[in-house]
Structure 1
Amino acid sequence: MASDAPVAARRITPAELLARKGGVPIVCLTAYTYPIARLLDPHVDLILVGDSVAMVLHGHANTLGATMDMMVAHGQAVMRGSARACVVVDMPAGSYEDTVANAVASAQRIFDETGCHAVKLEGGTAVAAQIAAIVAAGIPVMGHIGLLPQWVEKEGGYKIKGRSDENIAALLADARAVEAAGAFSVVIEGTMEPVAAEISRMLAIPTIGIGASSRCDGQVLVIDDAVGLTVDRVPKFVKEYAHLRDIVAEAAAAYAADVRNRAFPAPEHLFIPKDKA
């Protein structure tokens, strides 16, 4: 079956993103589908196939609904739709926390079955051994510290990090652990700005902020948030660059009116024999 894939181009690699530390900020957005990946690919350095797909496309209450099969399927779609950006796929909750061996096996499956360029997992000191083992297996890793969506049930909700001296010390330890384990970059989410800025200054690997600091080495947003498709509460850290939910709703309403009034389909949308035209 023919594929309308983008023309092949040289991919941005994790090593190149690592070398961007302190340089031109790294542009990252999430994507979960082939058409969105095609639209984003010319403009971003990194596409994250986030486990947020469980909420955004599958209607789950949080990211814990993401599965390995789900991440692999969406990772494959994004890889087909992109040719330039570095593609990172999230490891879903339950696929890496229990043992190092399970973490490596899960990362290897995602890496092999999607063809992505790196995997991402949440946590700092608690998963440093897993990060090191995955990197040793030849798979680049992006870390994720600060607010950890996969831990939302354990923590009783989404809680901004870096508010207390104790929590700041834990964040700094997590950042150092992720870097020492060999991650090529780290996402900092939902963290007080001065703390995120300090982590960015402290680390030799790039930091990617989301609700963190403008002084991070790059930024990431969920694409549906960024283009105004989110129908529930929009997080404080999001800037909406478009309002597609209004456009989609208006288009659906106009279509419904045309169908009910028999204005659609019109003759130009039909296949009419030439002798009847």
Structure 2
Amino acid sequence: MSIAKKQYKRITVKSLIEMKANGEKIAMLTAYDYTMAKIVDHAGIDIILVGDSASNVMAGHETTLPITLDQMIYHASSVVRAIDRCLVVVDLPFGSYQGNSRKALNSAIKIMKESGGHAVKLEGGSEISESISRILTAGIPVMGHLGLTPQSIYKFGTYTVRAKEEEEANKLIEDALLLEKLGCFALVLEKVPAALAEKVAKKISIPVIG
């Protein structure tokens, strides 16, 4: 039986949690500029991710690593000016949060202040827990990202499906539970087996996208 979707005038972190609790589907798409965001917003999508994949799609780089914080702010501010309803989540780019929680907080604050975005997304689990916690202390909503994490492409060596083996799958589940406990409002799972994604979605109360 399908569940009727409540109409929200503006999507917020709170409404996303409510949608998950009510069994409503949540739609998220990526956009990098005003025109793309306008189309996505008018289509009724709930979340726009301003992804660091702009490095590939908009600038032609082979990986997401080259894009800078200021470039992410440029793309995100263009998206924010276009939307009326969507929640806008902005990727923290490579090098802006790893290994230093103070730097992570400063990066997140800069993005929120200068782009007008509504939340930030970070790639990783327990290894970045300190950075996530510090960002959350400033009242900045955080979306997690597990599975294939493109900022670690040189570690993985390929963009293939992750967590196919039991050990990596168990680590992913542990990290998902940790991210929920830390206070992340949602979680992206990229390129993981469907059965594992379903298992994670049932284990945690926050929305799982992907």
- Bin of the TM-score, shorter chain as denominator length: over 0.9
Structure 1 segments, 4+ long, off by >6 Å, are: none
Structure 1 residue aligned with 2:194: 193
Q: Note the 1:1-277 alignment, pairs <5 A.
A: 10-22=9-21, 23-42=23-42, 43-209=44-210
Cα deviation for residue 10 of structure 1 reads 4.7
The aligned amino acid for 2:68 is T
Distance in 2 (alpha carbons) for counterparts of 1:175 and 1:99: 21
Distance in 2 (alpha carbons) for counterparts of 1:129 and 1:19: 27
Paired positions, count? 201
Cα deviation for residue 171 of structure 1 reads 0.5
Q: Write the deviation string for residues 85-135 of structure 1: whole angstroms up to 9, x where unpaired.
A: 000000001000121101000000001111111000100111112111111
Q: Give the fraction of aligned pairs with identical amino acids, expressed as a percent.
A: 43
**Contact between 2:99 and 2:128, CA under 8 Å: does it hold in 1?**
no
Cα deviation for residue 182 of structure 1 reads 0.6
**Contact between 1:148 and 1:189, CA under 8 Å: does it hold in 2?**
yes
Cα deviation for residue 136 of structure 1 reads 1.2
**Contact between 2:96 and 2:107, CA under 8 Å: does it hold in 1?**
yes
Distance in 2 (alpha carbons) for counterparts of 1:11 and 1:110: 21
Distance in 2 (alpha carbons) for counterparts of 1:31 and 1:140: 19
The aligned amino acid for 2:31 is A
SS of match in other structure, 1:65: coil
Distance in 2 (alpha carbons) for counterparts of 1:71 and 1:190: 23
The aligned amino acid for 2:60 is G
Structure 1 residue aligned with 2:4: none
Structure 1 residue aligned with 2:5: none
**Contact between 1:129 and 1:181, CA under 8 Å: does it hold in 2?**
no
Structure 2 residue aligned with 1:4: none
Unaligned runs of 5+ in 2: 1-7
Cα deviation for residue 51 of structure 1 reads 0.5
The aligned amino acid for 1:98 is G
The aligned amino acid for 1:36 is M
TM-score normalised to structure 2 length? 0.93
SS of match in other structure, 1:186: strand
The aligned amino acid for 1:146 is G
SS of match in other structure, 2:189: strand
Structure 2 residue aligned with 1:270: none
SS of match in other structure, 1:63: coil
Q: Write the deviation string for residues 164-194 of structure 1: whole angstroms up to 9, x where unpaired.
A: 1111111111101111111000000000111
* Larger-Rg structure: 1
The aligned amino acid for 2:18 is A
The aligned amino acid for 1:204 is S
Distance in 1 (alpha carbons) for counterparts of 2:17 and 2:38: 24
Q: Write the deviation string for residues 190-248 of structure 1: whole angstroms up to 9, x where unpaired.
A: 00111111000001111001xxxxxxxxxxxxxxxxxxxxxxxxxxxxxxxxxxxxxxx
Unaligned runs of 5+ in 1: 1-8, 210-277
**Contact between 1:75 and 1:89, CA under 8 Å: does it hold in 2?**
yes
Distance in 2 (alpha carbons) for counterparts of 1:133 and 1:46: 24
The aligned amino acid for 1:24 is E
